[in-house]
């Protein structure tokens, strides 16, 4: 039984890191593309399409980061760890909801 828990814990940790790296790459890639497009506009006021593309990339990246945080609840050993993870999940969920709202309203 201990070996199964050890295996599940290790697989979960690897999956958490993979999800977090994917989320970071998506957000970074989206930000770089938005900046390049902004430079092509010669630093004028960005159009709504550019803002929506950036918000979409940020939302997708945050979804991956949120998935990693949720998996951290499986391997949390202490109550303080669980509280910290819960706080991060709430914050990232609120940011994701705000970005979804922006995407829906086109602002």
What are the C-alpha distances in Å from 7 to residues 36, 77, 83? 43, 16, 24
In the numeric block, the tokens 């939302």 are attached to 59
Angle between helix axes 48-75 and 2-40 (nearest 10 degrees) is 170
Instruction: Name the pLDDT band for 100 (thresholds 50, 70, 90).
Output: confident
Domain that holds residue 33: 2-105
Average pLDDT over the chain, rounded to whole? 87
For the stretch 8-42, pLDDT in tens is 888 999 999 999 999 999 999 999 999 998 888 87
Number of domains in the chain: 1
Q: What is the pLDDT of residue 17?
A: 96
Q: Provide the whole-model pTM.
A: 0.80
The pLDDT of residue 34: 92
DSSP code, position 107: -
- Tokens 């828990």 sit at which residue? 5
Instruction: Render pLDDT for 33-59 as a digit per residue (tens, 0 to 9).
Output: 999 988 888 777 767 788 888 888 999
**3-class secondary-structure state, position 44:** coil
Q: Each residue of 57-88: pLDDT tens digit?
A: 999 999 999 999 889 888 888 888 889 888 98
Residue with tokens 């991060």: 88
Give pLDDT, residue 72.
Answer: 87
Question: In terms of Cα–Cα distance, which of 87, 92, 98 is closest to 64?
Answer: 92
């Amino acid at each position: 039984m201990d070996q199964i828990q050890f295996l599940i814990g290790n697989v979960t940790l690897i999956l958490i890191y993979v999800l977090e790296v994917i989320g970071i790459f998506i957000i970074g890639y989206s930000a770089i593309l938005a900046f390049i497009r902004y430079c092509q506009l010669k630093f004028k006021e960005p159009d709504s399409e550019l803002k929506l593309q950036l918000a979409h990339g940020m939302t997708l990246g945050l979804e991956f980061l949120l998935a990693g945080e949720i998996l951290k609840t499986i391997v949390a050993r202490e109550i303080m760890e669980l509280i910290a993870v819960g706080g991060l999940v709430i914050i990232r969920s609120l940011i994701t909801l705000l970005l979804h709202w922006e995407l829906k309203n086109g602002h």
